[in-house]
Amino acid sequence: MGYYPHFPVSTQRLRLRQFTRGDVDAVFDYRGRADVALYLFDSALSRDECAQAVQQRIVHTNWAEEGDKIVLAVELSDSSRVIGEMSLIWRDVDARQAEIGWIFHPEYQGRGYATEAARAVINLGFYGGDIHRIFARCDARNSPSWRLMERLGMRREAHFREHARFKGGWDEEFIYAVLQREWQGENQP
């Protein structure tokens, strides 16, 4: 049981690989920014916090039990520059559910890199990890994130209003999902 994928995973323009200790500055470059953190659970991270985060990510490369995360650095194939990160969390072992997440450096947004990386990670989940349903959540105001979910062909399954508190205000949240049998066509590996 469990899922131990092989890395790196290459796409047309990107390489998805394990984090290494040398990635702290690259991570601080985007996780240190307030605009990036706006709709994330954490606020902008200090360099020390980024060092800790990278330390944790180094071992987040497989699923052994429920709740485990696979967190990958996304780098440009050409320059090896780290432009963001992708995550896939094993949420429910019996019902084969996983949650996908993404964070990219603003300087590298708007070019389809997140879409490309997300497709590769969804393929990992469905075909490598034999996941039945992959879902994603975001703040309803985070339009780049939910537009990405729509671009991926995910379906809006929830729109919660004031169901929780978030950073001192009421939270409004979208949940999108796609089933393995719905994931096809141009999205195939």
Partner 1 sequence: MSGLNFPITTNRLVLRPFERSDVPLVARYHTLPSVQRYLARPTRYAEDVAGAVEVMRNQIGLQRPGDVLTLAMQRKGDQAVLGHVSLKWSDATAGQGELLFCIDPAHAGNGFLTESLTAMLNLSFDHFRIHRIFVRCDGRNHHSAKLMQKLGMRLEAHYREHALFQGEWDEELHFAILDREWQASSKVRPLPLRERVA
Binding to partner 1 (CB under 8 A) within 151-170 occurs at 155-165, 170
47: partner contacted, choices ligand COA, partner 1, none (Cβ within 5-8 A by kind): none
127: partner contacted, choices partner 1, ligand COA, none (Cβ within 5-8 A by kind): none
Binding to partner 1 (CB under 8 A) within 68-127 occurs at 92, 94-95, 97
Binding to ligand COA (CB under 6 A) within 49-108 occurs at 102-104
Is residue 64 at the binding interface for partner 1, with CB under 8 A as the rule?
no
* Nearest distance, CB of residue 25 and ligand COA, angstroms: 18
CB count in 10 Å sphere of residue 13: 13
- 8 Å CB contact between 86 and 72: yes
Strand partners, 17: 73
Return left, alpha or beta for 153; rule: phi > 0 is left, psi -120 to 50 is alpha, else beta. left
Q: How far apart are CA 25 and CA 138, in angstroms?
A: 26
Q: How far apart are CA 129 and CA 137, in angstroms?
A: 20
* Nearest distance, CB of residue 1 and ligand COA, angstroms: 29
69-92: buried (b, 16+ CB within 10 Å) or exposed (e) per residue? Answer: bbbbbbbeeeeeebbbbbbbbbbe
Q: Which is nearer to partner 1, 25 or 157 (CB)?
A: 157
Is residue 153 at the binding interface for ligand COA, with CB under 6 A as the rule?
no
DSSP code of residue 3: B
- 8 Å CB contact between 87 and 69: yes
Is residue 138 at the binding interface for ligand COA, with CB under 6 A as the rule?
yes
177: partner contacted, choices ligand COA, partner 1, none (Cβ within 5-8 A by kind): partner 1
Q: Give residues in contact with ligand COA (CB under 6 A).
A: 36, 39-40, 102-104, 109-115, 138, 142, 144-145, 147-148
Q: Give residues in contact with partner 1 (CB under 8 A).
A: 92, 94-95, 97, 132-133, 135, 155-165, 170-171, 175, 177, 179
